[in-house]
Structures are given as structure tokens and as C-alpha cells.
Chains A and B, each alone.
Chain A
Amino acid sequence: MTVTPWGEVIPDKPKAAPQPPVLEVKDLHVHFRTDDGRVYAVNGVSYDVAPGESLAVVGESGCGKSVTAMSILGLVKTPPGIMAGGQVLYRGRDLLKLKPRELRQIRGGKISMIFQDPMTSLNPFLTIRRQLTEAVELHLGLQGDAARDKAVDALRQVGIPAPEDRIDSYPHEFSGGMRQRVMIAMSLVTGPELLIADEPTTALDVTIQAQILELIQRLQRERKMGLVLITHDLSVVAGMCSRVVVMYAGRVVEEAAVDDLFADPRHPYTLSLLESVPRLDEPAGRKLRPIEGLPPKLTSLPAGCAFAPRCRFVRDRCKKEAPKLEPDAEGRKRACFVPIRRGRAVDGR
């Protein structure tokens, strides 16, 4: 991706790669019914992933990243969840409208998912072998030894030492990092086109985090697989992904190529987010600014922009009207009324 002077060139990627996206999330709305009222968890999220592309989804805790990801595979429990609207298109087919049988072929077969906590995401009562081979049997139609060999192979690829011996172990006999490797092996053994990794390293030690991310990246490149990487960690995003979607309170507030986003965030929330973490490409000693205030209550969202109460660029209009995700003058997609360049409002202040 080339850095373009503002206002001139539309990013070249859509033109250079006219491939249709593997996955398109369109105006997704997901709510939850709870004792304290309806939780508006996802309110019109849209993003897409091209084949072989890696997309990052970032945002504060509770902003709806996981719920969106789970909705893709229909893993949101209804009730209490309510799929209130929108589409999830996989190669043009709306996954939300598929019959259970059709959806099952896609789950784990075409689209796989890795979850945050490897300590609880593996079934403690079943051997690793059983948990791997059941996916192989289901999606690849292999049985017996063939399935086992495939599973051993998958374990080897994710760097489990002596996979032939380890395959008959139970999850509790593995460390956290190893378990996440097993999870990765499990989700990739069927050769999916798209991998959704929901904070795959949050629960791991820092040293292991890097290894796991590297592994995911390597496998993604090797297999030319689409990747949706959900994360808190912006430094991860820079190294691994080509495009970023920033979410806030169940909405996408900015979507941009990674380099654009880091170089010049166009949404006040993205700006604050970047200011709140240390960056490698900046001189040390820069003051970190945590985002002030709290994320809004999802039970009663404000009428205007959800970020307005915490926004330093806030205008009167922001409190009355919710901005849509639209390209600005330079084609950068963002949901804000205030034009922002290089951390400043263009119209003064």
C-alpha cells in the first residue's frame, strides 16, 4: 500500500485486487435481552475480508468485537441474543439465513475460529486426538488412521514437539501456549478459507504471545487464508494485518489500511486509542494519554455519537445525530462529523 497525499488518490487495493471478498459483514445488529434491559451490543457493523487478506478488528473491551465474530458463525446464543438485522455474506451466501445443516459445513470447514482462552476452550474430558479427529472426520471425510495422521500432521505444523506421542494426551497435560497451538491446529486442520482469531494471545504470557502470533501469521501466508484478527494490542496489528477496523460501542468508527491508520488516524477515538499506547515508531518519552471517561452503557446508547461524551473535538451536532461510516474527502472511511488531519480538527480548535 502506498502512502498517498490526501485528497488525491483512492487507495489502489480494491482496483489491484478486484477479487470478491470471502466474507462480508453488512450492517449487523445484535442485541441481548438481560435482566437490566436490552443490551445493544452490535449496532450496524460492516466489514469485509478479501481472500488471503488479514483484517484487524480493534477496540476497547465490550465494544462488540467478539459478538460480531461469533455472529459470523451463528454462535451467538438466541436467546438471550437477538439477531436484530444485517447480513453475513460468505461468498455471497447469507450465513444468517442458512439451514443448520448448511451452516455446519461452513463452520470449522470453510471458516474456523480460535478463541481467547485456551485453558477453557478445549474439552478437558476428551483427548487431543479425539478433538482433532472429529473435525477431520466431519469436514475431510477421513477415518481411523488417516484422520489420526492428519491430526498428527496438524500438530507438527503448529510446532508441538513429538506430536505422535502427545496426541493421546488430555488438554490439562499441556501448558497454555501449547494448548493455543492445539487450538490453532484444530481450527486449521480442515484447511479453511478464513480464520477468525478472537484475541488468541490475551490469556498467554508475553513471550508466548509473540510465538503464537508468528505462527498464525506464517500459516496464514502459507495457506493464503483470510484472517480476521481481533485484538486489543495495536502493536500486533501493525505487524500482521493490512487493514484495520476500529470499533466503538457496537459500531465501526474507522476503517483504514494499517499504515494510513497509524500515520494519520481520522477518528477521535482512533486518535485517543493510539495516544494511549506506546509506539515503536515514535521517540521515547512521549506522554501516554489514557482515554478519559467510560465507554457508554450499551443498554441505553446516546442519541448522537456514542463517543461524544469522551471526545475532545465534540460539537453540538455530535450529541444529536449519529455520524455514519462514510469516506471523507480523501476516501478514508470514518464515522465522524469533524474533519481531522494529523490529530487536529481541520476547521480549527
Chain B
Amino acid sequence: MGRYLFRRLLQVPIVLLILVTISFFLMRAAPGGPFDMDKQVDADIKRRMEEKYHLDKHPVVQYGMFLRDLAPIHVFDREGNVSIRPGFDLGPSFKNKSLSVNEVIWLKAPVSALLGIAALLISLVLGLGAGVVAGVRQNSVFDYGSMAVAMVGLAVPTFVVGPLLALVFGLWWKLLPVAGYAADGGFFGGLMAPQYLILPAFALALPFAARIARLTRAGMLEVINQDYIRTAWAKGLREHVIVVRHALRGAMLPVVSFLGPAVAQILTGSLVVEQIFAIPGIGREFVTSAMNRDYTMVMGTVILFGVLLVAFNLIVDVVYGLLDPRIRYT
């Protein structure tokens, strides 16, 4: 486990570097730049802008400067004097000139985080709940019913579930708002006004709930036929004790390994969900910055997504190790 984790940790910087490098050069390799689209900018101003943001330099030089700013700690300032400042500087946003990329991320990431956490919780609760009951009561009405729903949930992607939920609950029944976000914004503002989050969180969660339900059910079926479950029955334990204490852990292992890829998919899913429900989160920011050629903003969001992803995969590995004592020492 330790050695394995160490290998995974070594992977992290490589993965992030590859991601950053590809994104960086993808953005710059295409013809045109961020200041081409504003028609009113005349050639002179455009040149000055490009100079200000170092866009006149060779891409490789720009890349070097970008990486330098990105370093966790800055030891030297631009003149080469020693001056220690915190790093992780993603630079100014090209389009949103009053804010730096870091500021935009601080503003919008909490909104997405709230949405993502809500979706993850919903999918875990629904998926584990339905999966366990379906597995324990195999071939029951509940089993068939929930698995049929899960089948549909699997095939219907977020960007279909989202509009359909909006149609039924927002437009037809008028129960919930179909767009927007809490007026005070941020993480806690969103928490205080959950009505804006219910539909998007469910839209994001349902495909995962379906996957988790199926994985849990399959895991449960496998586990409850194990000898040690028979042992537990023979001890005279009650069914819910057997399910919760003896069976659930083993049944959850496939779910835990699925959570790594699931988080990646929730991140991509947030791109569409935030667009569908007009939520001012980081996913929508990524899409608009990409379309606007806002280089620094794109890089910032890509790095954020990359870090989240590798971090979550590591967490999943650790959790897996904690759940399964057998792999602790291997």
C-alpha cells in the first residue's frame, strides 16, 4: 500500500505537467489571440495589450514565465531581488480585466464545489440505498423496479436529465427555479438558498446514482453469497446487522474504485449542468473562457480540474486501503 501510494504520488506532478503543457500550447498554437475579437481595439492598443500580457513573446518563453508564476513560492521578484511571496499565481484574466484568475477561481469554484458535493452525496445516498436493498432482496419488486430505473438512468446522460428535470419540475409544475443561483452567491449563499441547487444537483447525480446502485447491487449479491456471511447468519445476527456490518464493506469496494472516475465525470458534467441551469460556477467559466480564448483563465480552470482529479484519485486509493485490511501491508 505504502509503495503503491508513493508511486501514485510520483504520478501527480507528471500528470499535471502534461495537462498544463498540452493545454498551454493548444491554446497558443491556434491562429488568433484573445484581443482579436474586440473590433474596437485598434492595432496600437492591441499591440500594447499583447505586450502587457507578454503575448508578443515566443510561446516557449511565455510557457516558462507561466510556470515560474505558477511555482508554489516565489523567491525572486521580476528584477531578481530576493523577495519571498506566495506563488500559485495564475495571472490576470484577459477578458475579465478587473479580476485575476485566482480571484475568479475563488469566486466561482465554491459554487461548483457545493454543486459537486451535493451531487456526490445524492448519488451515494440514492445509489447505495437502492443497491443494498435491491441486492439483499434480489428478484423482489423493489429490485426489478429500482434496477429498471437505474438502467434508464445509465443511458440518459446529464445533459438530457437536466433539461428534462427543468421541463417537468420547473416549467410544467413550477415547483423549482430552472435557472440562477442564490443572490449572495458563494458556497454558503448557495447553501442558504438550496432551491436553486436541487434540480442541477439531481441532474448531475442521477447517472452516478444509477451506476452506484448497479455496482452496489452486484457487490452485494457477490458478498452475500460468501461463506463469511453464512457464518454471520449462523451466529444468530439480525439481517440488518449482517448487511451493515458484514456485507456492506465488501459490497462497497467496487463503488469506491468507481468514485475516482466518477469525480472526473462529475467535473465534466458540471460543464453542462452549470450551463443548463445558469449557475455561475467554474465549469461554465471554463467553457466561456475557452470560447473567448481567455488563455490565463483556461489554464487556471484546467489546472484546478486536474488537481482535483488527481487528488480525488489518491483519496480513493487511500479509502480503498482503509476499507480493505487485506491490502494494507502488501
Q: Which A residues have a C-beta under 8 Å from some C-beta of B?
A: 70, 73, 75, 79, 103-109, 112-113, 115, 117, 120-126, 130, 134-135, 138-139, 170, 172, 183, 186-187
User: Do A121 and B227 touch (CB < 8 A)?
Assistant: yes
Whether B228 contacts A123 by the Cβ 8 Å rule is: yes
Q: Are A75 and B227 in contact (CB under 8 A)?
A: no
Give chain B residues whose Cβ lies under 8 Å from the Cβ of A79. Answer: 139
Q: Are B228 and A104 in contact, with the CB atoms below 8 A?
A: no
Q: For A187, what are the chain B residues with a Cβ–Cβ distance below 8 Å?
A: 234
From the candidates A73, A113, A126, A139, name the one contacting B246 in the complex (CB within 8 A): A126
Q: Are B237 and A138 in contact (CB under 8 A)?
A: yes
**Residues on the A chain within 8 Å of B3, using CB:** none
Q: List, in ascending order, chain A residues with CB within 8 A of B324's CB.
A: 124-125
For the complex formed, measure the closest distance between the CB of B135 and the CB atoms of chain A, giving whole angstroms. 14
Assess whether B249 is interfacial by the CB under 8 Å rule.
yes
CB–CB A124/B228 < 8 A: yes
**Given the contacts A109-B236, A138-B235, A139-B236, A115 and B325 also touching, CB distance less than 8 Å:** no
Question: CA of A16 to CA of B113 in the docked complex: distance in angstroms?
Answer: 78
Find residues 131-183 in chain B having any chain A CB closer than 8 Å to their own CB: 139
- Of residues 247 to 297 in B, which have CB atoms within 8 Å of A's CB atoms? 249-250
The answer for the CA separation of A103 and B235 in the assembled complex, in Å, is 11
B230 touches A121 (CB 8 A): yes
Residues of A within 8 A of B249 (CB): 125
A140 CB → nearest B CB, Å: 12
- In the complex with contacts A115-B227, A120-B228, A121-B228, A126-B245 CB distance below 8 A: yes
Residues in A with CB closer than 8 Å to B52 are none
Q: How far is the CA of A138 from the CA of B230 in the complex (A)?
A: 17
Q: Which residues of A contact B236 (CB under 8 A)?
A: 103-109, 135, 138-139
- Bound-complex Cα distance A183 to B230 (A): 13
Whether B323 sits at the interface, judged by CB under 8 Å, is yes
Output the nearest chain A residue to B252 by Cβ-Cβ distance.
A125
List 20 contacting pairs A-B, 8 Å CB cutoff, sorted by A. Answer: A73-B234, A75-B234, A104-B236, A104-B238, A105-B236, A106-B236, A107-B233, A107-B234, A112-B234, A115-B234, A123-B231, A124-B228, A125-B249, A125-B325, A130-B245, A134-B241, A138-B235, A139-B236, A170-B325, A172-B325
Closest to B232 in A: A123
Contacts between the two chains (Cβ within 8 Å), count: 74
Chain B residues within an 8 Å CB radius of A73: 233-234
- Which B residues are closer than 8 A to A by beta carbons? 139, 226-228, 230-238, 241, 245-246, 249-250, 323-326
Shortest beta-carbon contacts, A-B, top 4: A107-B236, A108-B236, A108-B235, A120-B227
Residues of A within 8 A of B245 (CB): 126, 130, 134
Give 4 new A-B contacts, CB below 8 A, not counting A75-B230, A125-B324, A170-B326.
Answer: A109-B236, A125-B249, A135-B235, A135-B236
Nearest-Cβ distance from residue B318 to partner chain A, whole angstroms: 16
A138 partner residues in chain B, CB cutoff 8 A:
235-237
A183 to B227, CA, bound (A): 12
Cross-chain contact of A107 among B139, B226, B235, B246 (Cβ < 8 A): B235
Q: Does the CB pair A115–B231 fall under 8 Å?
A: yes
List of A residues within 8 angstroms of B241 by Cβ: 134
Whether A104 contacts B230 in the complex (CB less than 8 A), given A124-B325, A170-B325, A170-B326, comes out as no
Q: Is the CB of B250 within 8 A of A125?
A: yes
* Contact between A186 and B235, CB atoms less than 8 A apart: yes
Contact B228 A172 (CB under 8 A): no
- Least CB distance, B43 to chain A, in whole angstroms: 69
Q: How far is the CA of A124 from the CA of B236 in the complex (A)?
A: 19
Query: B234–A113 contact, CB under 8 A?
Result: yes
Q: Which residues of B contact A122 (CB under 8 A)?
A: 228, 231
Residue of B nearest to A110 (CB): B236
- Chain B residues, CB < 8 A from A135: 235-236
Measured between C-beta atoms, what is the minimum distance from A20 to chain B in Å?
23
Which B residues are in CB contact (< 8 Å) with A103? Answer: 236
Q: B230 — which chain A residues lie within 8 A by C-beta?
A: 70, 75, 115, 121
Q: How far is the CB of A38 from chain B (nearest CB, A)?
A: 18
Residues of A within 8 A of B228 (CB): 120-124
B234 / chain A contacts, CB cutoff of 8 Å = 73, 75, 107-108, 112-113, 115, 187
Assembly CA distance A122 to B324 (angstroms) = 14
Alpha-carbon separation in the docked complex, A121 to B231 (Å): 6
- Contacts A104-B238, A108-B234, A115-B227 given; does A123 touch B326 at CB 8 Å: no
Cα–Cα distance between A124 and B237 once the two chains are bound (Å): 17
A75 to B237, alpha carbons, bound, how many Å? 12
Q: Are B326 and A124 in contact (CB under 8 A)?
A: yes
Shortest distance between the CB of A174 and any CB in chain B (Å) = 12
With a CB–CB cut-off of 8 A, which chain B residues contact A112?
234
In the complex, what's the smallest C-beta–C-beta distance from B64 to chain A, in angstroms?
50
Residue contact A125 to B323, C-beta cutoff 8 Å? yes
User: Quick one: which of B139, B237, B324, B325 has the most chain A CB within 10 A?
Assistant: B325
- A120 cross-chain contacts in B, Cβ below 8 A: 226-228
CB nearest neighbor in B for A77: B225
Docked pose: A103 CA to B237 CA in angstroms = 10
Contacts of B237 in A (CB 8 A): 104, 108, 134, 138
Cα(A54)–Cα(B314), bound, Å:
55
Name the distance in Å between B267's Cβ and chain A's nearest Cβ. 31
Q: State A130–B246 Cα separation when bound (angstroms).
A: 10
| Bound CA–CA A26/B201 (angstroms) | 59
Residues of B within 8 A of A134 (CB): 235, 237, 241, 245
Task: Report B73 CB to chain A, min CB distance, Å.
Answer: 43
Please give the distance in Å from A130's CB to the nearest CB on chain B.
8
**What's the least CB distance linking B216 to chain A, in Å?**
16
Nearest Cβ on chain A to B296's Cβ, whole angstroms? 48
Return chain B residues, CB-CB under 8 Å to A172. Answer: 325-326
- Complex Cα distance, B236 from A187, in Å, reads 11
CA distance A105 to B232 in the complex (A): 13
Q: How far is the CA of A81 from the CA of B34 in the complex (A)?
A: 71
